[in-house]
Amino acid sequence: MDKKTFYITTTIPYVNADPHIGFALELVQSDAIARYHRLVGQEVFFSTGTDEHGQKIWEASQKEGEDVQDYVDHFAKQFSNLKGTLNLSNDNFIRTTDASHIKAAEEMWKLCEVKGDIYKKKYKGLYCVGCEKFITEKDVIDGKCPLHPTKELEVVEEENYFFRLTKYKDELIKYLSLPGSVIPEWRQKEALDFVENGMEDFSISRSKERFSWGIPIPGDESQVMYVWFDALVNYISTLGWPENKEKFEKFWENGYTVQNAGKDMVKFQSVMWQGMLMSAGIQNTKQIVYHGFITGEGGVKMSKSIGNVISPEEIVKEYGTDALRYFLLREISSFEDSPFTMERFKEAYNSGLANGIGNLTSRILTLSEKYLEKCPEISEQSDMIEYFKLLEQFDIKQATDYIWGKIGELDQFIQTTEPFKVVKVDEAKGKELITKMVLELYFIARLLNPIMPETSEKIKSLVRENKKPSAPLFLRKE
Ligand SMILES: [Zn+2]
């Protein structure tokens, strides 16, 4: 990384359901990357938040018979509570109903308008409320949206404002061809393919007659902003743009910018949003990283209607925050779909945590407390290049595997050298072996910092105090 400041953001979820495990993955991944960049001495801005406008939310609130503002407040709270549940280090939580965000979305509109990139057009099409967008005929399956087969498509005819995305075709191709602009590579191909073959101007407003829960169009009260045009601006409004020039310059213009998103977001994040930035004359996002989906057993989609949804809150209540972080970051692929089942979770918990790092910590510190007078001299400067390289590539799973490789090696070292026996016959030699183990354990704790921050701190302070844990770090579960 060649920049002093680092910026990372998650997408902002719609607030029409409680937080699910898939979004917890995105949060925890982004948090690990943010913590890594702090660890190497960069100043970091990590943002998340909630997307609170649009027809879907309006209708959901009406269905509940609730005032829409109360409705979004309730869910925004659920999402911001994840900061504690998942031990997130985010610097801001942006809500699209914040007054400052609304001002920013209006400013973005004006900038694109001045550029001549916004025009009015009569439009008739099939509209999916689930997607909050028009569905092209070729994507319709059995008269329904493929993503929302239980929802009826609405035939909608209205005059909307459109964004001249096609004007930026060449510029987008150039941007998307930059190495690393989209990660992983196959998503980069997908983005390029979309721009080259399927990209059209997109509608960025909705008639106020249908619903009014959105930001009014500057200069035209009859329309509200399309929720995507509004929501995408959060990536810069979170920095106080356009008002707070200093912060915006520091982290967006002069920083290294990364957005983390789900694999279904490519068109929105890497194309639409980048086109808007080009129009407004704002620098593009440096890198956008796409993760896969968490599925249920056998790769089935997790959904409320199927009833296989796993709640991050419940897992944390029973197993603790770091156990969930461990599973999400190690057992779930960083880029492709992976299943999350309680069976897999328990197995990974027992083998990687209870019998893994937990047991190792107890064994080593029991010996050191007994045989060493004090904590040996520790270093904060050991070589982590290989590990850092994996995190630079956002391959968090491999980075976590690397740590557990070190844990395995240390386990092996104890088994072959048997310091607990050696120390009884040759104290000096035994102490030397124990010291080596303690230092290696400390190194592992340092590696754990971005992945399991609490466990990392716990082990580090136990090592410094030369004390064995008073209780197992991770209790074995049956
Ligand atoms: Zn849909």
Per-residue pLDDT tens over the stretch 86-140: 999 999 999 999 999 999 999 999 999 999 999 999 988 898 888 878 888 888 9
d(CA 228, CA 205): 9
Sheet with 220-225, side-by-side order of all strands: 205-207, 220-225, 216-217
The alpha carbon of 106 and the centre of ligand 1 are apart by a number of angstroms equal to 27
pLDDT category of residue 168 using cuts at 50, 70 and 90:
very high
Residue 155 has pLDDT above 80, yes or no: yes
**Choice between 135 and 338, residue whose per-residue pLDDT is larger:** 338
**pLDDT over threshold 80, residue 458:** yes
Ligand 1 center from residue 163 Cα (angstroms): 21
Q: Residue 1 pLDDT > 70, yes or no? A: no
Whether 276 contacts 112, CB under 8 Å = yes
| pLDDT, tens digit, 9 for 90 and up, residues 250-306 | 999 999 999 999 999 999 999 999 999 999 999 999 999 999 999 988 888 887 777
- What integer is the mean pLDDT of 154-160? 89
Rounded to the nearest angstrom, the distance between the alpha carbon of 16 and the centre of ligand 1 is 15
Average per-residue pLDDT for the chain? 95
Distance 186 CA to ligand 1 centre (A): 24
pTM recorded for the entire structure? 0.94
Tokens of residue 444, six digits: 């592992």
| R_g of the chain computed on alpha carbons | 25
pLDDT band at 3 (very low <50, low <70, confident <90, very high): confident
User: Ligand 1 centroid to 128 CA: how many Å?
Assistant: 5
* Residue whose structure tokens are 């989609």: 301
Q: Are strands 202-203 and 154-163 parallel, antiparallel or unpaired?
A: antiparallel
> Is 170 strand, coil or helix?
helix
Percent of the chain's residues with pLDDT above 70: 100
- pLDDT score at 209: 86
Three-class SS state of 201:
coil
Average pLDDT for 320-337: 97
Q: If you average pLDDT over residues 455-474, what whole number do you get?
A: 97
- Residue 313 Cα, ligand 1 centroid: separation in angstroms? 28
| Ligand 1 geometric centre to CA of 55 (Å) | 13
- The residues with which 287 forms a beta bridge, in sequence order, are 258
Ligand 1 midpoint to CA 150 (Å): 9
Q: How far is the CA of 253 from the centre of ligand 1 (A)?
A: 35
Token duo for residue 181 = 């602009």
How far does residue 146's CA lie from ligand 1's centre (Å)? 6
CA of 169 to the centre of ligand 1 (A): 26
Q: How far apart are CA 117 and CA 166, in angstroms?
A: 10
Q: Do residues 161 and 109 lie in contact, with contact meaning Cβ atoms separated by under 8 Å? A: no
Find how far residue 474's CA is from the centre of its chain.
25
**What is the residue type of 368?**
S
Mean pLDDT, residues 198-205 taken together: 92
- 156 Cα–ligand 1 center, Å: 14
Give the pLDDT of residue 2: 60
8 A C-beta contact, residue 308 and residue 205 = no
> Nearest 5°: CA angle at 60, between 57 and 62?
110
CB 310 within 8 A of CB 342: yes
The tens digit of pLDDT for each residue in 359-397 reads: 999 999 999 999 999 999 998 777 899 999 999 999 999
Place of tokens 């016959």: 425
- Cα 39 to ligand 1 centroid, rounded to whole Å: 41
191 neighbors 266 (Cβ within 8 angstroms): yes
